[in-house]
Every structure is written in structure tokens, then in C-alpha cells.
A and B are shown apart, each in its own frame.
Chain A
Amino acid sequence: MSSGSCNLLGAEKLTFRTRSLLIFKLEGCEGSTMETPLLEMRGITKVYPNGVVANRDVNFSLREGEIHALAGENGAGKSTLMKMIFGMEEPSEGEIYIRGEKVRLQSPQDAIDRGIGMVHQHFMLVPSFTVAENMVLGMEPRKGLGIHYAEAIRMTEETARKYNLAVNPKAKVEDLTVGMKQKVEILKALLRGAKILILDEPTAVLTPQETEELFRELQQLKEHGHTIVFISHKLKEVKAICDRITILRGGSSEGVFQTADVSEQEISRLMVGRDVVLKYDKPQVALKEPVLTVQELNVSDRQGNSLLRDVNFTVHGGQIVGIAGVEGNGQRELIEALTGGLQGVSSNGTVQVKGTEIREADILAIRNLGVAYIPEDRMSQGSAAEASISDNLISTRYRSRTLNKNFLLKSSSILELATRLIEDFKIRCSGPKQPIGMLSGGNMQKVVVARECSANPQLLIAEQPTRGVDVGAAQLIHQKLLELREKQSAIVLVSADLNEVLEISDCLLVMYEGQIVAYIENPSGMSEEELGLYMLGIKRQDAQQIRRALSHV
């Protein structure tokens, strides 16, 4: 860990030296392109009302017919930059040009009218509508007073055929897989005449197989003459399909490069200011007695549909059990069963922490047993945006005797605790009194992790602990999880990041349709592709192998 911080300091110096170099490179780049770019942003600065500077004097340009990667850590300002192209935000300063003409994009409709389409990270579809209805939303073909449904289907099919993206126009969106939903989003943009297509982290929710399919589709679109902006922090993918890359760091542009000219290491160094190594040395930790025991856990919804079936596993002190699976295969319900969140469903079986049944216990009782929980959604569950960092840090321990004296909270102890955690977790902020909502996503997540990890929990449930955070923050969070493991905590790690679950976990459970379909020891030896087969339900182990999750032998 100490070497990590050393690295950071070294890297900071390094980037200062390279910055002047980069400027030369940039100028050279622009000099060679004589034609007017399709889209150009000059000197863009964006400050949000809460004081967050998302972009600082950024230049960005797109050539017709290219796939342009926009890479950067989370909170580097990628999404904000794209929101400005799509008219969802207006720049505080700077200009946008389309084919050399200065434009002002005040709403997404302005952007759509100029041939810009965006596929958001969280899909903007109406789940209860059919594909065709979603496709024509806001531009419905009319027949009398109603919508001309047959025409909507014809339009959908025509667009799908034209771009070779197969979808079923009559299917309901809520029944579609994530990959399919994404396809609908892309088609939706194309139907509205998009020539520039912005994809915000399109692969974050896809399996490796679905990702490959998406790449094929993007290549096709490129051949059709479309220009694509591909936002990602997965460098392998950027290298695989992008022509040029713009790298953002801390809201500023670090330069534009031909993707072929830069290596993954160079990109990541520019993104973070240091080399990314997602390899960890895990010391052997002897297994203690089981902390969490889940036996014959079944959960079904009101209609009687099974959400979890015969789930059995144990987690011992000093052990990290990873849970992998495509989203929506029962992970949600499993976590709810472990954290007192099951509501509106029927369940049976045992869920015990150190021998105490918790399946139907309330949250406070579960927390008092020493269970900590890093929730997936840091905004709606994990924090109170308008409250200060220190208020957010004490939310699970404000009752404790160390923080209270008679009837009053001890401000000095709280301040001390907050200062220590801010330092320990390298939370970048102006001080413990700053509202947490002003922090970047990664720093906000560090606050959540700091709160949950610092209480020395018996059991920690970490749900997507590094989703949407930069590599630096992810590394720090991983290290903290491993530290807890050494301190004999039991850890359940649920994550869609395959690299993370494979690398961090001592053993791995794969969930598919509410069941555990595989138990994998030493997962770091397994390839992401093989894991993908289990996740898609193509492969599964026999019952006996899966039962090993109970005894770990």
C-alpha cells in the first residue's frame, strides 16, 4: 500500500513533465487535418450548481466516419462533455461547432435535429411499452386520434433491416435482455436520423459475448458513414474498435491520439497518472469458523415466481466469496435477504450470522450483529447528498458510546474520526464539513466504503463496490477489502466487474436465474470467457459440485 502512494507521487511529477510534450503533439495533430471537423468543441468549461467543475477548458473534435473513444476515470468529465453535445447541459463557457457552424444546443431536441443521438448508460426506455412503441415515442405516426401501430412496427422493422440490427418490434421492453435493450436504444437514435452516435459506457452492463456483438454492430454503422463516440474506461475495448482517442483527466483534456499509436499502458498512465495493475498479492489467511451461513434459501414474489432457489453457501472469517452473474439473476434478492431488505416477497430457509437468524430481522438488529453493507447505489441509499461528509461517515455509529456524552454528540470525536477516515481513504475534499454531493463519484464511493469498512465488521456485503469509480479509487477500495480479509472479516462481494470478482475473491459463486450454477475455487485462474458461459447459463456444474459452497472443501 505504501508503494501505491509512492507511485502516485511519482506519477504526478511525470504528468507535469509530459504536459508540455502533449501540447506539441496536439498542435501537430490539428495541423495535419485540413478538413473542417464534423463536430468541434472549443474551450469548454462546465461548472455545476453544486460547485463541481466537470470540465475545464476542453477541446474535442470529431471527424466524419470515425469511432472516437472518450476515455478517462470516473469523474473525469466524460459524461458531462457528452451531455453538452446532446443538449442536456449547456457549457458555462466555450463554443460548439457543427461542420464549422457555431451552434447552441439547448435541449436534446436541438441535438437530435442536428443528427446527434445518444445511448445513455441507464437506458431511457419505457419498460411496459413494446419495442415499436418505444422506438416512435415522441414522434408517433398518427392515425386519426390514435397511434398508427402498424406503421410504427413497419418503421422499426425497416430501420432494423437497414442497419442489420435484429429486434422483435412487438416484444415488451421489460422482457428484453440488457443487450437487446441497448440495441433498441441505438435503433431509436438511428430512426431519429442520428449521424453522430454517442454511447455512454455501452459495455458496462454486457457479457463478453454481448460486447463482441455490439462491436460488430458498431463497425457496420461506421461503414454506413456514421460517426461514433465511444465512452469507456475499458482500455482493451478502446484499442479494439476505436480510431482515435481523447483522454480526459480531472475535467481537462490530456490530448488526442491515434489509437494505434498509443499502448494500453500509455493510455492508462494518461488517465490515472500511473500504471494500472489489477493484480493483488493475497496473503494466505487461515479460514476461521463460518460467519454467514445460508441454507435452502428460497424467495418468490407475490405471483409465486421463484426469484431464488435452493441457495446454499457459507462465508468464513478471513474469506472473500465472490458472486458473479448477469444483472437480474437473483443477486438483488440475495443481498436483500442478507441485509434485512426483503419486502413484498415470501421467503424460507435460513440465513444466519454467527448463529443468529437474520432473514426477517430488521436492519438495525442486523447491523448490531456486525454486518456492514456497501450498497450498489451510493446516491439513493449509500449517502445523503446534502449532508456533510462527517454526517455521512457516522450514520451507522452515531449511537455508539465513543461518540456520545450524556445527551450530546461529541463533536470533537466525530471530527477526529472524519479527519482520520478522509486521510485513510484518500478522500479528496475541502474538509469534513463539505456536503458529500459536491464530491466526484469515486470520492463519494470512498466515503461509503470508509464508513462500512472502518467499523471492523464481522461480515461485509459489498455490492458493486467499484462500479463507476476510477481505477485509482477502485484499487484503494480493493486494498481495503483485502485488509479486512486479513483482519478476519467475512466478505461477500457481488460485482458485475468480472476482473474484480475473479481477482479479489477466494472462491466464486455464479448465479443464473436465481440459482447458484457454479462454485469455483481459486477463480483468479479462470478466464472471463469461461465465466461468461456460466453466467449465460450455457454451462453449469452438477449439484454435488455446487454443494461445496457450504463446506468449501
Chain B
Amino acid sequence: MFKSKYFETIRTTAVILIALVIAFLIIALVSDNPVKTIGIFLFEPLNSKGHIGNVIEMAIPLMFTGLAVSLLFRANMFNLGAEGIFYFSGVVASAVAIHWSLGGFLHPVVAILAGSIVGAILSAVPGILKAKWNANELVTSLMFNNILFGIGLYLLNYQLRDAKAFANVSFKFEKTALLDKIIPGTRIHTGLIIVLALIVLAHFFLYKTKWGYELRMTGANRSFARYSGMKTAKVIILVHLLAGFVAGMGGSVEVLGMYTRFQWTALPGYGLDGALVAMLAKNNPLSVIGSALFLAYIRIGADLMARLSDVPAEMISIIQAVIILLISAEQFLKFWKNRMLLKEAREA
């Protein structure tokens, strides 16, 4: 039977199922042909190479931001700044991709690194404010998102904008800067390899190195970490640097992998989605892969549903809202856990 130690997994599964059931109910209410619509929502994303490709393409940025947010949440930093950094680093990488020309594989590498390093430096600001003056990282990072968006949009409008284009978009990237597609018939690009490698690295960093250990202990109980002799202020700044680096790399990779011009005139939302991915993954780097794929799957499902049936894609935000609500509700299914515990106790 179920054991209480699997409770979190069971709970997450239950939350997802409940959210899906609610989604079906809504579809049943809205749609003229609910069975067909649900079928599209569930199976259409998986029924062709192109659609599976879409799911994976969408999962790549989610993995980047999910990993960045997981690291922050692990250190008990409720920082949602991945959003602004993802956007701004995209601008930086675009600038490098447009204005420089470098030979061979170097161009994307330089562009991505530039975006990542700028991301790390920007992210350090709320980190330092937190570490030195205990400024609430949630407030500062959300403010920072707006600031970065404002500056990024300014740069797009006045420095990168292609006046000949009909929309508010940048000049075209140099061909050499674009990331290669790795699977024919899809738009899946080398970013997938980068992010998977990064996730594995993060896993080792977190669980197998002394810096990762410091990070986990600081997150679990900061005064315990301090008492043990750890410099928790440094740990907090370090985790911000890392998360900023990862989020910045995500923005750069996304821009160079999926587009030929920079064209975001609003925050793309991947940073906040990263928080959802991190919650589903329980802040475990390796689980980020699965939860990002799941989120991408239901998004693509909703997209296809909007195109092929009479239910709009916005329905997906209801599913997300239910998931966030139930995952963060600590009491949800607690009674069941208590019953399992009682049973185990009696057997012991």
C-alpha cells in the first residue's frame, strides 16, 4: 500500500488530476462537443512529431526558469525576479547577435554568455539587498522585473529596432548567432542539450558539493547555518548569482533558438511559470524536467484545443490556478496522510 513518505508525490499527482477534472468539467460546460474537445486537449499534443516538438520547444525555457527558481526556493528565497532577467538577458543576447559578427560556433556562445553574465549581475542586486540589509527579496525582485522590462523595452525601441519592419521588432540576428535545430521536422534546438546539462550540473552542485550543502542548510534554517559557521550572506548572494545566470541563459537561448528577431514587447511570463515548475518539482533540479514537460504539454494542448475546437486557450489558466492553489495549500489531503500515518504506527 501507499506509504506516508510517498505522500508528497501522491499529493502532487492528486492535485494534477483534480485540476484536469476541473478542466474537463469546464470544457463539458463550454463546448458543444466535449468528448472531442477533451480528446484534442489530451492527445493532440502527442499525435504528431511536430506537436511533440512544440511541447519540447516550450519546455526548454520553462526548464531554465524552473531550475533558476528552484535554486532560489531551495535557499528559502522567495524571489520571482527570473521574469525580468529572462527578458533583459534576451535583449542583451539579441544585441550581441545583431551587432557583432563572429565566426563559427563562437557567436551564439558569446551571445548566450553575455546574456547569462548580465543576468547573474542583475540578480545579485536583490541578493545583496537581502543579504546585507534584509530587504524582502520578493518585493525587490518584483520591482526589479518592472525596471528591467522598462529598460529592455527602451533598448528595443531606440537601439535595436528595425525601422523597416512593420512591427516593434529588432533588426534580424546575424545568421551565425542562431542556434542549430537538432531534430529535423521540429524547431527543437541545441538549447535542449544546454538545459539538460545544466540541470544535471545543478543536481550535483546541490547534493554533492559543499557549496550546495551550504545552500540547502541556509534554506532549511538560516540561523542553524550561521551557528555552524557558514557565511549565510555569501550563500544568499551566490544563489542569486547562480539563479540569475541560469535565468539569463534561458532568455538568451530562447531568443536565439526560436526567433530571428527580438520581438517581446511584453514580459513573456516564463519567470513566473518557472515558479510553478519549481513548486511542482518540489525544488528538485532533476524533477524540473518532468514538471516543465508537463506544463508545456497542457499549454500546447490548450493551444491546439483553441485552434481546433470551440474552447479558448485561456481555459489553461484555470488549471494552473487550481494547481498553484492546491499545491500551496498545506492542509490539502492532510487528513489522508494522518490516516496513513496512524496505520503505519499501528503496524510498527
Same complex: yes
B-contact 0/1 string along A338-372, CB 8 Å cutoff: 00000000000000000000000011101110000
Contact of B226 with A385 in the complex, beta carbons under 8 Å? no
From B208, B227, B230, contact of A382 by CB (8 A): B227
In the complex, A2 has a CB within 8 A of chain B = no
Contact of B226 with A363 in the complex, beta carbons under 8 Å? yes
By CB atoms of chain A within 10 A, which of B209, B223, B225, B229 has the most?
B229
Closest Cβ–Cβ distance, residue B214 to chain A (whole Å): 8
From A51, A364, A385, contact of B341 by CB (8 A): A51
Contact of A385 with B220 in the complex, beta carbons under 8 Å? yes
| CB-contacts of A36-60 with B (<8 A) | 45, 47-49, 51, 53, 56
A-contact 0/1 string along B187-230, CB 8 Å cutoff: 00000000000000000100011100110110011011111111
Indicate whether A398 sits within 8 Å of B216 (C-beta atoms), given known contacts A47-B342, A367-B229, A383-B221: no
Indicate whether A51 sits within 8 Å of B224 (C-beta atoms), given known contacts A93-B342, A363-B229: no
In the complex, B329 has a CB within 8 A of chain A = no
A-contact 0/1 string along B327-342, CB 8 Å cutoff: 0000000100110011
Interface residue range, chain B: 20 to 34
Closest to B210 in A: A398
By CB atoms of chain B within 10 A, which of A366, A383, A384 has the most?
A384
Q: Which residues of B contact A363 (CB under 8 A)?
A: 226-229
Indicate whether A47 sits within 8 Å of B228 (C-beta atoms), given known contacts A384-B217, A391-B213, A395-B217: no
Contact of A47 with B227 in the complex, beta carbons under 8 Å? no
Closest to B339 in A: A92
In the complex, A412 has a CB within 8 A of chain B = no
Q: Which residues of A contact B12 (CB under 8 A)?
A: none
| CB-contacts of A396-440 with B (<8 A) | 396, 398-399, 404, 407-409, 411
Q: Complex formed: what's the CA distance from A366 to B227 in Å?
A: 11
Closest to A399 in B: B210
From A49, A367, A385, A398, contact of B338 by CB (8 A): A49
Indicate whether A380 sits within 8 Å of B342 (C-beta atoms), given known contacts A364-B229, A387-B216, A409-B210: no
Interface of B is mostly: helix
Closest to A251 in B: B345
By CB atoms of chain B within 10 A, which of A93, A366, A404, A408 has the most?
A408
Contact of A398 with B220 in the complex, beta carbons under 8 Å? no
Contact of B209 with A407 in the complex, beta carbons under 8 Å? yes
Contact of A396 with B210 in the complex, beta carbons under 8 Å? no
In the complex, B132 has a CB within 8 A of chain A = no
In the complex, B260 has a CB within 8 A of chain A = no
Indicate whether A391 sits within 8 Å of B216 (C-beta atoms), given known contacts A47-B345, A363-B226: yes
In the complex, B175 has a CB within 8 A of chain A = no
Total of A-B residue pairs, C-beta within 8 Å: 83
| CB-contacts of B275-319 with A (<8 A) | none
Indicate whether A92 sits within 8 Å of B209 (C-beta atoms), given known contacts A364-B229, A381-B227, A385-B221: no
In the complex, B99 has a CB within 8 A of chain A = no
Interface residue range, chain A: 35 or more
Closest Cβ–Cβ distance, residue B284 to chain A (whole Å): 14
Q: Complex formed: what's the CA distance from A411 to B208 in Å?
A: 8
From B221, B337, B341, contact of A384 by CB (8 A): B221
Q: Which residues of A contact B214 (CB under 8 A)?
A: 398
Indicate whether A45 sits within 8 Å of B345 (C-beta atoms), given known contacts A384-B217, A408-B209: yes
Contact of A395 with B224 in the complex, beta carbons under 8 Å? yes
Contact of A375 with B227 in the complex, beta carbons under 8 Å? yes
Contact of A53 with B348 in the complex, beta carbons under 8 Å? yes
Closest Cβ–Cβ distance, residue A506 to chain B (whole Å): 27
Closest Cβ–Cβ distance, residue A454 to chain B (whole Å): 14
Closest to B213 in A: A398
In the complex, B344 has a CB within 8 A of chain A = yes
Q: Which residues of A contact B223 (CB under 8 A)?
A: 380-381
In the complex, A528 has a CB within 8 A of chain B = no
Closest to B224 in A: A384
In the complex, B36 has a CB within 8 A of chain A = no
In the complex, B4 has a CB within 8 A of chain A = yes
Closest Cβ–Cβ distance, residue B333 to chain A (whole Å): 11
Q: Which residues of B contact A56 (CB under 8 A)?
A: 345
Q: Which residues of A contact B208 (CB under 8 A)?
A: 408-409, 411
Contact of B226 with A47 in the complex, beta carbons under 8 Å? no
In the complex, B231 has a CB within 8 A of chain A = yes
Indicate whether A92 sits within 8 Å of B224 (C-beta atoms), given known contacts A51-B344, A398-B210: no
By CB atoms of chain A within 10 A, which of B210, B226, B227, B344 has the most?
B227
Q: Complex formed: what's the CA distance from A381 to B348 in Å?
A: 32
Indicate whether A364 sits within 8 Å of B231 (C-beta atoms), given known contacts A49-B338, A53-B345: yes
Closest Cβ–Cβ distance, residue A274 to chain B (whole Å): 23
Q: Which residues of B contact A92 (CB under 8 A)?
A: 338, 341-342
Q: Which residues of B contact A396 (CB under 8 A)?
A: 228-229
Q: Complex formed: what's the CA distance from A47 to B214 in Å?
A: 32
Q: Which residues of B contact A368 (CB under 8 A)?
A: 229
Indicate whether A409 sits within 8 Å of B213 (C-beta atoms), given known contacts A49-B337, A51-B4, A382-B224: yes
Q: Which residues of B contact A399 (CB under 8 A)?
A: 210
Q: Which residues of A contact B342 (CB under 8 A)?
A: 45, 47, 92-93
Closest Cβ–Cβ distance, residue B7 to chain A (whole Å): 9
Closest to B345 in A: A53
In the complex, A373 has a CB within 8 A of chain B = yes
Q: Complex formed: what's the CA distance from A375 to B342 in Å?
A: 33
Q: Complex formed: what's the CA distance from A408 to B216 in Å?
A: 15
Q: Which residues of B contact A383 (CB under 8 A)?
A: 221, 224
Q: Which residues of A contact B345 (CB under 8 A)?
A: 45, 47, 53, 56
Chosen A-B contacts, 30 in total, with CB atoms closer than 8 Å, are A47-B338, A49-B337, A53-B345, A53-B348, A56-B345, A93-B342, A362-B231, A364-B229, A364-B230, A364-B231, A367-B228, A368-B229, A380-B224, A381-B224, A382-B224, A383-B221, A384-B220, A384-B221, A384-B224, A387-B216, A387-B217, A387-B221, A391-B217, A395-B224, A395-B230, A396-B229, A398-B210, A407-B209, A409-B208, A411-B208
Known contacts A92-B341, A92-B342, A363-B226; 4 further A-B pairs (Cβ under 8 A) = A367-B229, A386-B220, A407-B209, A409-B213
Interface residues of chain A, those whose CB is within 8 Å of chain B, are 45, 47-49, 51, 53, 56, 92-93, 362-364, 366-368, 373, 375, 380-387, 391, 394-396, 398-399, 404, 407-409, 411
Which 9 A-B residue pairs are closest in the complex by CB-CB distance? A384-B220, A395-B228, A384-B221, A364-B229, A47-B341, A367-B229, A53-B345, A92-B342, A384-B224
